[in-house]
Structure 1
Amino acid sequence: MKSVQDFSPNAFRAAYEARGWTQADVAKAIGTTVNTVGRWVRGKGAPSPRLFSLLSKELGVARSQLLLPLAPDADLAVLRTRAGLRQEDVADHLSVQASDISEMELGTGRVRDEWGVPLTYLYDVSLDQLAKAAEVTEERWRAGFEAKRHQAP
Structure 2
Amino acid sequence: MSLASGWDTDRVKSVQDFSPSGLRAARDDRGMSQDDLAKAIGVTPNTVGRWERGKGAPSSRAFGVLVELLGVSPSRLLAPLSPDADLATLRTRAGLRQEDVAHRLAVQRSDISEMELGTSPMKEGWAVALHELYGVPLDRLARAREVTEAQWQARLGAKKVHRMSPAPPNDTSSS
TM class by shorter chain equals over 0.9
**What is the TM-score of this pair, normalised by structure 1?**
0.98
Q: CA deviation at 1:113?
A: 2.0
Larger Rg: 2
3-state SS in 2 of match to 1:152: helix
Q: How does 1:13-92 map to 2 (within 5 A)?
A: 13-92=24-103
C-alpha displacement of 1:36: 0.7
1:41 CA drift (Å): 0.5
CA shift at 1:112, angstroms?
1.2
**2:158 paired residue number:** 147
- Structure 1 stretches (4+) deviating beyond 3 angstroms? none
Give the match for residue 118 of structure 2: 107
Amino acid at match of 2:57: A
Name structure 2 gaps, 5 residues minimum. 1-11, 165-175
Match of 2:92, SS state, is: helix
- In the TM superposition, what is the alpha-carbon distance from 1:111 to its structure 2 partner? 1.0
Aligned partner of 1:136: which letter? Answer: V
The structure where helix makes up a greater share of residues is 1
How many residues are treated as equivalent by the alignment? 153
Consecutive unaligned residues in structure 1, runs of 5 or more: none
> Counterpart amino acid of 2:121?
R
Say what the alpha-carbon RMSD is for the aligned residues: 0.7
The structural deviation recorded for 1:123 is 0.2
Amino acid at match of 1:75: D
Q: With the length of structure 2 as denominator, give the TM-score of the two structures.
A: 0.86
% identical aligned pairs: 63
